[in-house]
Structure 1
Amino acid sequence: MLRGEKIGLRARHEDDRPILQRELSNDVLVSARAEGRPWRPVAVGGPEPRIKDDDPSAVVFAAVELETGGLIGTASVWGIDNHNRSAHLGLGLLPSCRGKGYGTDVVAALCAYGFTVRGLHRLQVDTLADNHAMIRAAERNGFVREGILRSSAWVMGEFLDQVLLGLLARDWTAARRG
């Protein structure tokens, strides 16, 4: 298990899937904002349409609270490009776990995985411009805003801007030493 200050990242278990599907995948607004494609209902216990556990370009974790071991959400390193040594980060916290500082800790643990375990050179976060929690979690971990994609995401009947944030391994390592 990868450990942060408050959270751990572990493999997902079968009993995590119904909770994640019920509280994240079947929440129309949250799912539509996170997926970049039209929302589709997911049957509890059915296959998850997003990142598959056996996708070689993605690593999917269950995020758990260290103190209790309780599931708090999902986290992933996806779009892994082994040639360019880059990848994207993503996370989804259960509604009851938002606003507690877990997101910043999850991003830190994902960075440790990406840079230390996988030897990646660059990590990227792509998020909607109004996703202030994700932007804050990324920036607290050293990510730099690199650009805005204007009106690039069709979400629930409107086009929204996306923010791109990036972090290089050398900057992450320097910040940890300093």
Structure 2
Amino acid sequence: MMTINFSPFQNLETEHLLLRRVIKSDLKEVKALRSNPETMKYIPRPLVTNDDEGLAHITMIDEKIEANEGINWAITIKGDSRLIGIIGHYRIKPEHYRAEIGYMVLPEYHGKGLATEAVKLVVKYGFEVMKLHSIEAVIDPDNLASARVLEKNGFVKEAHLKENEFFNGQFLDSVIYSLLNK
């Protein structure tokens, strides 16, 4: 079985992006991401409505890293330390060498290729550092932009699950994408 150790925390970078640890001073941007009905439209989780909930989200990210149960990075543009999104591996199944990737970016950065670039980097980390065999992404079937990001990174649609999640009084479908380490 693979062993996971996120210590010391590793920043990742591309030509345009620096992925770093999410910190308490990112609260304003984390709140902007998680409280916006538009960015949360395809994420069946409650909206963050105040500073305490935003800080609790940051604390949860930290605790998962410290426990080697998941890892998230703040997506930043090189030369600007401001968080523009969050990306990471969670629901890690070491016994199956598999993890789920998740990401979100502030609306003003949509359509610029930044999520695609960040996913490529985090996939590389998953395969090369974590030694994963496969990475999955679970998205809302209506989230066409996210499907494009995944497809550009080589992910393949594996399943469309009907009404497999219950949120806000309704049953929602999920689409599962996956990428194997070849």
- Give TM-score, length-normalised by structure 1: 0.83
**Which range is displaced more, 145-154 or 36-45?**
36-45
RMSD: 2.2
In structure 1, C-alpha distance between the alignment counterparts of 2:46 and 2:28, rounded to whole Å:
21
- 1:30 is matched with 39
How many residues align? The count is: 168
Aligned CA distance change for structure 1 residues 41 and 50 (closer, same or farther; 3 Å) = farther
Q: How far does residue 43 in structure 1 lie from its aligned partner after superposition?
A: 2.5
For residue 27 of structure 2, what is the amino acid of its counterpart? R
Which residue pairs with 2:102 in the alignment?
90
- Find the partner of 1:13 among 14, 20, 23: 23
Give the Cα separation in 2 of the matches to 1:135 and 1:51: 27
Q: Where in structure 1 are there 5+ consecutive unaligned residues?
A: 171-178
> CA contact under 8 A between 1:60 and 1:76: conserved in structure 2?
yes
Q: Which amino acid aligns with 2:33?
A: L
In the TM superposition, residue 73 of structure 1 has moved relative to its aligned partner by: 0.8
Name which of 46, 50, 61 aligns with 1:52.
Answer: 61
What displacement does 1:154 show?
A: 4.0
Counterpart among 107, 110, 116 of residue 119 in structure 2: 107
Residues 24 and 55, structure 2, Cα contact 8 Å, conserved in 1: no
- The equivalent of 1:174 in structure 2 is none
Q: Percent identity?
A: 29
| Structure 2 residues without counterparts, runs of 5 or longer | 1-10
Change (3 A) 1:39 1:68: closer
Equivalent residues of 2:19, 2:74 under 8 A apart? yes
